[in-house]
């Protein structure tokens, strides 16, 4: 079966760096997405990776290793507003999106 | 504000009621989706529409009935629901049917409670 694994919850300190991991087993691969979802709000797109390597976008970076079935989202200079759930999703060979259950990130002062 | 609106934001209904959820996208997208989000579970894709044609129905019980009258509007009609149907129902749209890098734009969701 197809599966996406990510930690359920993580805690980090304001101003620090945190890495949220995502591992996947899917039927084929057509890209990996990261979304951010604040409590009670819509998920919003953060990044898309289809090739191996690191994509940087401001304080957020996303890394992909297709051979390892692994991605991470790196958040730098954490701010209180970064407290949210982070959803990993992989597009399989049929262009179906397979979603992880999300990682709830708690930022402490 | 993502350009996708959903109403109502909260809904409480009994198991014998009939209600409808509404989604509207102002982005000129051609594809629209209904998802169910339960606590600590992955998003579950329920229905997919492309250019007002249903292209996917992921084994969703018949008590959920979608309707897409035009490319900007999507409805989810609910009847004789069960308590386990209580969840956040999210609507999303994308430029085209999911392919390559097309990101989805989500609405804020309808929090449904079935009593």
Query: Which one is predicted more confidently, B5 or B98?
Result: B5
| Span B70-87, average pLDDT | 95
Structural tokens at position B37 = 């989000």
Q: Under DSSP, is residue B8 helix (H, G, I), strand (E, B) or coil?
A: coil
A71/A69 Cα distance (integer angstroms): 7
Q: What is the mean pLDDT of residues A9-27?
A: 97
Distance CA B91, CA B26 (A): 13
CA distance B107 to chain A (A): 5
Cα(A29)–Cα(B2) distance, integer angstroms: 27
So what's the pLDDT on residue B100?
64
A42 vs B101, B103, B106: nearest CB: B106
Q: Categorize the per-residue pLDDT at B37 as very low, low, confident or very high, splitting at 50, 70 and 90.
A: very high
Of A8, A30, A40, Cβ closest to residue B100:
A30
**Model pLDDT for residues A44-79, shown as the tens digit of each residue:** 999 999 999 999 999 999 999 999 999 999 999 999
Whole-number pLDDT of residue B1:
66
Helices (H) and strands (E) in chain B, counts: 0, 11
A27: alpha, beta or left? (left if phi > 0; alpha if psi -120 to 50): beta
Q: Could you give the percent of chain A with pLDDT greater than 70?
A: 100
Do the beta carbons of residue B75 and residue B66 sit within 8 Å? yes
B87 close contact with A: CB closer than 8 A: no
Q: Where are the beta strands (DSSP E) in chain A?
A: 3-5, 9-13, 18-25, 32-37, 44-49, 53-57, 60-65, 70-75, 84-91, 97-99, 103-108
CA atoms within 13 A on the CB side of B100: 2
The residue of chain B with its CA nearest to that of A47 is B103
| Mean pLDDT for chain A overall | 95
Q: What is the pLDDT of residue A95?
A: 81
Check whether A42 has a pLDDT greater than 80.
yes
Half-sphere exposure of B53 (CA within 13 A, CB side): 4
Interface touch B43/A91, C-beta < 8 Å: no
pLDDT for position A38: 95
pLDDT for the residue numbered A1? 76
pLDDT classification of B70: cutoffs 50, 70, 90: very high
């Amino acid at each position: 079966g197809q599966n996406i694994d990510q930690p359920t919850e993580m805690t980090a300190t304001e101003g620090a760096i945190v890495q949220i991991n995502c591992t996947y087993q899917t039927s084929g691969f057509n890209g990996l997405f990261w979304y951010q979802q604040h409590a009670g709000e819509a998920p919003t797109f953060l990044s898309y990776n289809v090739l191996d390597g690191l994509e940087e976008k401001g304080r957020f970076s996303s890394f992909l290793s297709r051979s390892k079935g692994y991605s991470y989202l790196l958040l730098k200079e954490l701010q209180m507003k970064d407290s949210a759930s982070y959803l990993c999703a992989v597009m399989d060979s049929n262009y179906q999106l397979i979603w992880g259950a999300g990682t709830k990130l708690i930022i402490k002062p | 504000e993502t350009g996708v609106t959903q109403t109502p934001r909260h809904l409480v209904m009994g198991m014998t009621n009939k209600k409808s959820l509404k989604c509207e996208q102002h982005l000129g997208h051609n594809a629209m989706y209904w998802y169910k989000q339960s606590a600590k579970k992955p998003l579950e894709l329920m229905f997919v529409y492309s250019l007002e044609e249903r292209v996917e129905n992921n084994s969703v019980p018949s008590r959920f009935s979608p309707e897409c009258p035009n490319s900007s509007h999507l409805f989810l009609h609910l009847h004789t629901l069960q308590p386990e149907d209580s969840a956040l129902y999210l609507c999303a749209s994308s430029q085209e049917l999911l392919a390559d890098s097309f990101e989805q734009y989500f609405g804020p969701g309808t929090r449904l409670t079935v009593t």
